[in-house]
Amino acid sequence: MKLLITGAWQSAKEQLDALRAMGHEIAFLQQEKDPLPVDPAWVEGVICNGLFLHHPIEAFSALRYIQLTSAGFDRVPMDAVKARGIRIRNARGVYSAPMAEHAVWGVLSLYHQAPFFLKNQAEARWEKHRGLTELAGKTVCILGAGSVGTECAKRFRAFDCRVVGVNRSVRENAAFDAVLPMDALEETLAVSDVVVLTLPLTDATRGLMNAHRLACMKPGAVLVNIARGAVVEEAALIDALQNHLGGAVLDVFESEPLAPESPLWAMENVIVTPHNSFVSDGNAARLNDLILQNLREDADA
C-alpha cells in the first residue's frame, strides 16, 4: 500500500524499515498543515491525526485506509469516509490507562485537598485540614462505557466505589456494577458522587452536559471531563460550580487553549490540565503495536 505517514505518529521514523518490509511504499509529512510531499491521488493509506483539517479528503482519490493516532473520530470527515467505504481505524486502547489514572488522580486530589497542601508546602506552613473526603463507598457514574470508561471503572472499583456505566448500547461489562441506557442518565446523575465523561464527541453528545443535566447532578458531586470539551456547556458548568457542584477535574475545554480570563483557572474546587490526560511513557509502544497489527490485518482487505 502507498502510505502517507504524518508526524502525529511520533515514533513513525523508527518503524519505516518494518513498514517497507511489509511491502508498503512510504511518504512522510512531519507537520500535517504543511504541503503534501506527494500527489494526494498517489495515497492509498494514511496514518495521521488531523490531516483532513488541512487537506480535503476529496483530493485523495485512491484512499482506502485511514489509521488515526487518536481515539476520537471527530477530526475526520466521517460522512465522506463512510460514503466512500474507506476503512478507518482509531487508537482504541492506547491511551485508556493513563486517562483512567488521571481521572482517579483528579478526584483524589480534590477529595484530599491537594491544592491546599501544595500551597502550604510551597510556603513552608504546617497546617492541618479536617475536611478530607473518602473515595471508598462513593457512587461513580461513567458516561461512556468503551475502552477508557472500562479502565476508569476498574480503578474506581479498586477504591471500593460502586461504578455505574451509562452508554448508548447496553452490554455486559464485568468492570462495572451495572451498565444502563442513555435514558437512565438523569436519574443516575442524581445519585452519583462522581461523574466521569469518557464518551466520544458526536452530534448526539455535543452539549450533552447542559444546564439541565448539570442541575440533575447530586449536590457536592465532582465532574471529570477527559472526553471532549464540547460535550459540556462550559458557561453552564461554571454556574453549577459556583452553586451546587463540589468540584471538577477538567482536561478538555470548548475552546483550547483555555482563555486566561476563564474563571475556571481561579476556582479552588477545579483542577485544570491542558488536554494532557492521555500522556504516558507507555503510549508509544502500544501505538506502534496497534498500527502494525492493524496494517497486517487490513492492508489487503
Instruction: Name the fold adopted by 2-91.
Output: Rossmann fold (3.40.50)
Count CB neighbours of 217 within 10 A. Answer: 25
147: Cβ contacts below 8 Å, ≥ 6 apart: 71, 92, 93, 96
E strands of 85-174, at which residues?
87-89, 139-143, 162-167
**Cell 440533575 found at:** 216
**Cell 490507562 found at:** 97
CB-based burial of residue 142 (10 Å sphere; 0-12 exposed, 13-18 middle, 19+ buried)? Answer: buried
Known catalytic residue: 233? no
The one catalytic residue in 24, 206, 275, 286 is 275
The one catalytic residue in 228, 233, 234, 254 is 228
Q: Give the pLDDT of residue 298.
A: 82
Please tell me if the domain spanning 2-91 has the same topology as the one spanning 96-272.
yes
Could you tell me the pTM of the whole model?
0.94
Q: Where are the domains of the chain?
A: 2-91, 96-272
pLDDT per residue, tens digit, the chain (301 aa), is 999 999 999 999 999 999 999 999 999 999 999 999 999 999 999 999 999 999 999 999 999 999 999 999 999 999 999 999 999 999 999 999 999 999 999 999 999 999 999 999 999 999 999 999 999 999 999 999 999 999 999 999 999 999 999 999 999 999 999 999 999 999 999 999 999 999 999 999 999 999 999 999 999 999 999 999 999 999 999 999 999 999 999 999 999 999 999 999 999 999 999 999 999 999 999 999 999 999 999 865 5
Euclidean distance between CA atoms 295 and 301, whole angstroms: 10
Euclidean distance between CA atoms 216 and 228, whole angstroms: 20
Euclidean distance between CA atoms 244 and 228, whole angstroms: 23
The one catalytic residue in 134, 256, 268, 297 is 256
The CATH superfamily of 96-272 is NAD(P)-binding Rossmann-like Domain (3.40.50.720)
Known catalytic residue: 228? yes
* Phi, psi values for residue 139, rounded to 5°: -100, 125
Known catalytic residue: 256? yes
Q: Give the pLDDT of residue 173.
A: 97
Euclidean distance between CA atoms 242 and 239, whole angstroms: 5
